[in-house]
Amino acid sequence: MSTWSVFKFGGASVKDADALRNAIRVVREHGRSPLVVVVSAMGKTTNALEAYLQQRELGDVSAAEAILSEVKDFHATIAQSLGLWEGDLPGLISSEWTRMASIDPQAPYGRRYDAIVSAGEVVSSYILNAALCEGGVASHWADARTMIKTNADHRRAVVYWDATEQGIREAMKEPGIYVSQGFIASGPEGEITTLGREGSDYSAAIFAYALHALELTIWKDVPGVLSGDPKFFSDVVLLEEIPYATAIELAFYGASVIHPKTIQPLQGRGIVLHVRSFLDPELPATRIGAVPQLTPKVPCWIRKANQVVITVGTRDLSFLSEGHLADVYRIFSDLGLLVNLAQHAAVSSRFCVTADRVTVPRAVEALRGNYRVEVLEDLTLFTIHRPHDAARSWLANQGTILLDQRSGVVDQVVMHLHPSA
């Protein structure tokens, strides 16, 4: 019987030197060999690397280099604060920044995105592994790119499970404590791929699945999974137990605590997922597994800001056919643009997507070749799981509703918020 466990630390849990010291304490006090520690990029590094790529795309080289310089200084400062800026670490980090900056500018956008943004996880794992070793934990660095194998769908790669399981089990055949990266993998030609934004949870589930782990623990800056983000919603409560199926639904609709693809591999092998606070590990946590029902039974709120609604219609006002919709979705797919909500009428369809300075304008440009296109920006998407009348009434008072869709136990609303909301 396997005795492996998997820990996953997100960006907030390794955002600075103090956070890293806390992560080391958590591993020392709550971890045991054999253990895989999966780490995200530090703090807001992924956002910064996306901004770096966007400035390169827009041709503003000086702005791009300024962003990259800040990213480099941020990581060097953390390593220096921990007394780690010596030995092999500076060279390892420098080689990763060099690799990232030398990407072929003529390569497809998705391939460049993955090659650049993945650097955040690699550098983060170098620093965490060095910090653990310095703190008395005999950990080993392991490269997820050599273990997790995918197809070539950049920014949302599909895992090849048999090859991945073989790669992980071969690399970790000796019990121990391993530090590896979330979010990143490699494609058929050895090129870097990524598993989708916030995909480090999914990576941790992949490791747990491959190793037949007893449990996966995701360490967060909140005490488990809450019924909503307390920054935006009042009266939120800790969800103590969540059935696999409910967790999949919440993640699919955008619950920020869990990546959408995380649950299914765990469910397939009956692996329990705990979501715990790294700030106070002794607080009650959320348990996701083969439990009979959501406890407690309350509405769950999900809020996605920075949304755009793209309305697409035929030029001659004829009906939108399946062929038209297939063409629209192909354009979105080719650009890696995910549709959060779609609503179809006879002569037009509306698509809610997350704003992006590069991919959204390119999608709009491509669509305008054959369709009438309108764009509304600065919107917010709300999803309520198991809503009641009071929740719907509260939401209706927050702004102007543009899209309203109800399906089973889920309500989704796209709206332009009032300034005070």
- Does residue 214 share a domain with residue 349? no
Is the residue at 19 inside a domain? yes
Pick the last residue of a domain from 199, 221, 243: 221
Pick the last residue of a domain from 221, 249, 265: 221
pLDDT for residue 77 = 98
Number of structural domains (the chain) is 2
- Find the domain containing 347 and state its range: 300-417
Is the residue at 29 inside a domain? yes
- Does residue 330 share a domain with residue 195? no
- Does residue 338 share a domain with residue 204? no
CATH assignment at residue 151: 3.40.1160.10
Count of residues making up the chain: 421
CATH assignment at residue 330: 3.30.2130.10
Q: What is the pTM of this model?
A: 0.84
- Does residue 205 share a domain with residue 345? no
The parts of the chain modelled with pLDDT lower than 70 are 256, 421
pLDDT for residue 345 = 92
pLDDT for residue 4 = 98
pLDDT for residue 409 = 87
> Hey, is 90 helix, strand or coil?
helix
Pick the last residue of a domain from 175, 197, 221: 221
Q: Angle at which helices 359-367 and 322-334 pack, to 10 degrees?
A: 150
- Does residue 325 share a domain with residue 189? no
- Does residue 345 share a domain with residue 214? no
Pairing of the two strands 286-289 and 272-277: antiparallel
What are the tokens at 363?
């999608």
pLDDT for residue 178 = 98
> Hey, is 165 helix, strand or coil?
helix
Residue 296: closest CA among 247, 243, 241: 241
Backbone region of residue 375 per phi and psi (left: phi > 0; alpha: psi in -120 to 50; beta: other values): beta
pLDDT for residue 168 = 98
The sign of the CA dihedral 250, 255, 260, 262 is negative
Is the residue at 226 inside a domain? no
- Does residue 99 share a domain with residue 205? yes
pLDDT for residue 230 = 85
Question: ∠ at Cα 350 (348, 353), nearest 5°?
Answer: 155
N- to C-terminal Cα separation, the chain: 52
